[in-house]
Structure 1
Amino acid sequence: MLLKWILRVSSILLIVLLVVIRVNLVKETEQQDILERPILQTEQFIFNHLLDEAGMIRTDFKGNPNGNLILSESMGLWLEYLALKKDNSLFDSAYLALKKDFISKENLVMWKVEGSVRADTNALIDDLRIIASLFRKGEQMNRSDYIKQAIRLSKSIMKYNRQDDYFVDFYDVRYKYQNKELTLSYLIPKAFQYMVNYGVITVDELDQLRDFLRNMPTDNGFYPKYYSVEDNRFHFDQEINLIDQLYTVIHLEGFGISTDSFFKWIKDIYLQENVIYGRYDRLSKQRIVEYEAPAVYALLVIYSLEKNERAFAKSVYERMTELRSDDPMSTYKGGYVFSNSTHSFDNLLALVAERKLLNE
């Protein structure tokens, strides 16, 4: 009896072990499939065509009109990707380039550098993305210099990009001028959560910001474009830019605010048509353009992961990669290139989405 019991238990344990091994192999194969095809291709495209000698990301190909333009948006997305990838060497190179050329004496990140000319204004979303990446990487590597820089940038945001209790989009260091609107897609929750952890803002201040966003109205299921500090009103666009909307809902989810209705709408549209366009009419909810954008798909992948819809995210991701140059003989293999022109935003967001999908 004892021998039969031992053999039965052993058989059950063997079956369980085989099932676990199979599940892990399937997951590993799926991850390897994602890794080998898109991530290395798009990353290699960026290395070959957009990354300059100083470690900064060009907006377009060298020789094109924006070939010498470097945006804080691109640098922030590159840092975010490198932090997600845990690439210490490239992150440090990008950080040193950013520190040298983009950060003003006020500890704000200027929004562009073209040639040797640096802009005089920052862009709140880019500062916040860079802050979050520096905090993340500082904790990963135990690098106090990254964390100290993130704290300095955070304190400057609180000083220069606020009017009363409201954040605003930019500050002009030359004219000492703040604009009077907040683009609602700019508020990145992870940056503020780090600020609480490092004592830059209080829990109460984070809660006030969350309450402000929770009370934001919608119109026909869409979110407003910006909030005006002058008239204390939310303002909607007639033409809905899905990049703005997707950034907004991703950030709301990060603040713990449900966006189920919007997710249902965009998921239904995609499942019905197998395509998402760049702009929709606010009232009719019909598309008003004929183009697709890699950045829209990338953000929808990230949003779907926020909603724990990995299967849907992978479907959208596959559609996104159909817009990518995959011809092995192409000079631009791995890139999102249209009419011999590209934009760092599309490529970097696609790269971030791919890495987030892989990391899940």
Structure 2
Amino acid sequence: MVLEDVLLQRSIKLIFMVLFSVLLTGCSREEIHVTTPNGESGFSQTTDYGQYPNQEKKLKSFIENGLLTKSGIYTNFKKQSFKENAARGHELLSESSGMWLEYLAYNHKYREFREFYKETKKTFDLKTQFSYRYTPSKNKKFSVNATLDDLRIIKALQMYGEATGNKKYKKEAATRFAMLQRNTMSKGKIASFYDTDSKKQSAEGSLAYYDFQILKYFEDTKSGRKMYQQQLSVVQNGYLGDAFPLYASSYNWQSKSYSNNDLNTSEAMETLLHLAKINKLQKASLNWLTRQVKNNTLYNTYSVNGNIVNRSHSAGSYAIAAMIFATEHDKKMYQKAMKLVWKYQVLDKNSDIYGAIGIEHQNEAYSFNNLTTLLAANY
């Protein structure tokens, strides 16, 4: 009888463990509530300002032949040694893949879109999010994402779904957003990244990562709209003032304070673009940007007081500025910004990076500058 009792207890314990496991599995699935929004997102809306067929043809050819691989897009045309803390050389970024997917969706290249998204998942998928970086030489997929890069891919999926009427891709976009939301968003917070190994999110949230057009579309519920207003307040309260009308680089949710770090201008431009997309761009910000583009003085780095830290220029910053002007329906300033962008295009047919937005004598052409320019040319 004692042996039978022991066996019975073991059986009961085993049954309980199985049931508990099933319950846990069920709960984890129920944690993600996916609602596919109705109506058009407006993600694909552009002007007809981007009339640069010759420059764009050369640029697209360089990207396809010099940067594009089956698995993704090289960070830089030039091979560079591996560094743990910074992607470079022939590493692949989900940022680049998201921008390429956007371009394919804009231009109705549907078969290419489907094939490239399939490869994007193979390269970067971490099940609940996309890795921000993959190193082919080490077969290393980093365990952290970059929230803005995920949002960009989600945007491209929605654009494709709307353009083709494909419900599968709309569902994929909504599911991806719901999973991303669970890991990186709460009460107005958008963490810059989430680590799938440590199960922790960053304490800081980059204000450039608040893509309001995407957030507004997917957060179209009562609780979602409340979160959206909180998110908008986080960015708007980071305004540095009319004297230097940009925004702090990030907000720390632990210290409840905005960063005093210097501003990376490309990220600062992203913040302005996201506000422009929802008609929330400050007039002072637009006037400041107009002056910088007119005078070709949009520099790479500023202090929060508006002092110039780095006097170099970036084609990517001017390209995002062009997108802002197009969003504000200012064709003249869009064209001025694009004129400055095209100054960086390599036109020597003997160069390895002919057609690229790059540094010819160094044989360097970064994916961000090239892809941002390609997108801006399609506005």
**Paired position in structure 1 for 2:61:** 44
Which amino acid letter does the alignment assign opposite residue 284 of structure 2? S
CA contact (8 A) 2:352 2:363 kept: no
- Per-residue deviation, 1:144: 2.1
Secondary structure of the corresponding residue to residue 143 of structure 2 = coil
Counterpart residue identity of residue 49, structure 1: G
| Structure 2 Cα separation of the partners of residues 307 and 293 of structure 1 | 21
Matches within 5 A, 1:62-141: 63-65=79-81, 66-105=88-127, 107-115=128-136, 116-141=139-164
Displacement of 1:62: 6.3
Q: C-alpha distance in 1, partners of 2:297/2:54?
A: 22
The secondary structure found in structure 1 opposite 2:258 is: strand
Instruction: Indicate the residue corresponding to 1:235 in structure 2.
Output: 259
Deviations, residues 276-321 of structure 1 (Å, cap 9, x unaligned): 22123433x3433232111111111111112211111111101110
What is the CA-CA distance between 1:181 and the residue it aligns to?
A: 0.8
In structure 2, which of residues 223, 236, 249 is the aligned counterpart of residue 225 of structure 1?
249
Matching of residues 77-226 of structure 1 within 5 Å: 77-105=99-127, 107-115=128-136, 116-196=139-219, 202-219=224-241, 220-226=244-250
Q: 1:298 aligns with which of 276, 294, 319?
A: 319
The Cα RMSD (Å) is 2.2
Go from structure 1 to structure 2 and tell me whether the alpha carbon gap of 1:216 and 1:281 turns closer, same or farther (over 3 Å shift): closer
Alpha-carbon separation, structure 1, partners of 2:61 and 2:271: 30
Q: State the TM-score, normalized to the length of structure 1.
A: 0.83
Paired residues, number: 321
Partner Cα distance (1:286, 1:212) in 2: 24
Q: Deviations over 1:2-33 (max 9, x none)?
A: xxxxxxxxxxxxxxxxxxxxxxxxx99x86xx
1:58 aligned to which of 74, 77, 83: 74
Deviation of 1:333 after TM superposition, in Å, equals 1.7
Question: Displacement, 1:102?
Answer: 0.9
Q: How far is the alpha carbon of 1:201 from its aligned partner?
A: 6.5
Aligned twin of 1:257? 280
**Match 1:311 to one of 320, 328, 332:** 332
Q: Contact 1:223–1:236 at 8 Å: present in 2 too?
A: no
> Which amino acid in 2 is paired with 1:267?
T
Residue 165 (structure 1) shift? 4.1
Decide which moves more: 317-326 or 184-193.
Answer: 184-193
Contact map agreement 1:72 1:112 (CA 8 A) in 2: yes
| Residues 153-198 of structure 1: per-residue CA shift (max 9 Å, x gap) | 111111110355412111110111111111001011222133145x
| Cross-structure match for 2:369 | 346
**Cα distance in 2, alignment partners of residues 230 and 258 from structure 1:** 28
Stretch of structure 1 that moved more, 156-165 or 245-254: 156-165
User: Contact between 2:193 and 2:201, CA under 8 Å: does it hold in 1?
Assistant: yes
| 1:278 aligns with one of 300, 306, 309 | 300
Aligned partners of 2:272 and 2:296: how far apart in 1? 21
Query: Whole-Å Cα distance in 2 between the matches of residues 319 and 312 of structure 1?
Result: 11
Distance 2:296 2:204 in 1: 36
The amino acid that maps onto 1:314 is: Q
